[in-house]
Structure 1
């Protein structure tokens, strides 16, 4: 024990006295078994009943302590399981979201390839006629609209404009036998058809990835975690392709 002559700072005095008072009160409120038996005898309670009561109270206290320990272990286990589930689910969301982004990149590749065919269509048109400025303008405007689009929704709207432009060009070709016989136009037709086929495949894969992702984050209880982490449903790409 430290020396009783040790000086205690004034700032600690009130706290020391408070703790000492509480400990003394707890100590003064305890009783020995003999004291309880003596008190029981004054109330004409046999000693064996007092001893039995002491044992029962001690047993109940131990049981409550065990129950609290079990509850603490169960609570810790639930927290641990919840944490593991949250991490696993977050990683699952991230993986699905990455798949959607990757598939959209493939769709964009084909859309870009398709838009890049428009300058060739313009050159073919200008090579065979100088009077179809309207077709040239429609083609150029549609490509510019696609290049300015950013989101899947904007891309879908721009693709519709590209579709209309290409369809308009093909209607013009149908009434121009000289252009139909052009080898350059024939080559473009093959490129358009090939691009449409690849775009259809990539669009299907993208929509499948979006479906899997949306289903994942909309299922309960995943939806609660997804909302809190900022994961949102993604739109499907519904743009139609043109007929080659």
Structure 2
């Protein structure tokens, strides 16, 4: 059977419940805490000192948490800035490598385009000149790095110097060899610059994340 309260008592109970709820939500009043401590024989002065120490410890922990958050934010910011900076540096250096590699390939292709002209011209000259041109063609196909020396040798031959078509073609081959040497030198310099930057700190930390190679293959 339900216990019934008169209206006045019910109102008092409700008010007390509200007060207890408010105390629970806002914390225990210090006076209540001191009264409880006094009942247990604790000196109120010691209680107040304990409260002060606890509050200071809580404040220190709060400051530490804030410092950790700030430090974490700074580190994340620095990491992102390093990613942007490293991408800019590596992208520029890598673009140079690709550009000069393409230049080397272009001048090599230009030299290779001269071979059919040499082959056609070799059918129109004397047997001795044909043998020399065929030797040059073989060198250009198999060991083009040695072609420059052979071209210089042929250019010193009076028979080649006096033949306008041969002389002009030798000049083109010699010019292509010079351009290849120049572009290859520029390419190797670009590779060296890229690899140097890829090893630098803090770029070397961001490079693997950005997907750039450590060395140029």
Using structure 2 for the length normalisation, give the TM-score. 0.72
Deviations 1:186-232 (A, max 9, x none): 11222222222222221111111100111111334433432233322
Distance 1:98 1:183 in 2: 41
Question: Does residue 181 of the first structure (1) align with residue 162 of the second (2)?
Answer: yes
Q: How far, CA to CA, are the matches of 1:180 and 1:77 in structure 2?
A: 72
* Bigger helix share: 2
Q: Which of these residues, 160, 181, 193, is aligned with residue 200 of structure 1?
A: 181
Q: CA RMSD in A?
A: 3.3
Change in Cα spacing, 1:167 to 1:119, as seen in structure 2 (3 Å) is farther
- C-alpha change, 1:169 and 1:123, in structure 2 (3 Å) is farther
Equivalent of 1:67, from 39, 64, 68? 64
- 1:101 Cα deviation (Å)? 0.8
Which runs of structure 2 are paired with 1:1-244 in the superposition (5 Å)?
27=24, 31-129=28-126, 132=130, 136=134, 139=137, 161-163=143-145, 173=154, 178-232=159-213, 233-235=215-217
Unaligned stretches of 5+ residues in structure 1: 1-23, 144-159, 236-244
TM-score normalized by the length of structure 1: 0.65
Q: Which has the higher contact order (CA 8 A, sep 6+)?
A: 2
Name which one, 1 or 2, has greater alpha-carbon Rg.
2
Task: For residues 53-73 of structure 1, give each alpha carbon's deviation from its aligned partner in whole angstroms, at most 9, with x where no partner exists.
Answer: 212211221221122112101
Cα deviation for residue 183 of structure 1 reads 1.6
**CA pair 108-32 structure 1, distance change in 2 beyond 3 A:** same
In structure 1, the residue matched to 2:13 is none
Which range is displaced more, 84-93 or 225-234? 225-234
Aligned residues: 193
Instruction: Give the distance between the partners of 1:124 and 1:163, measured in 2 at CA.
Output: 22
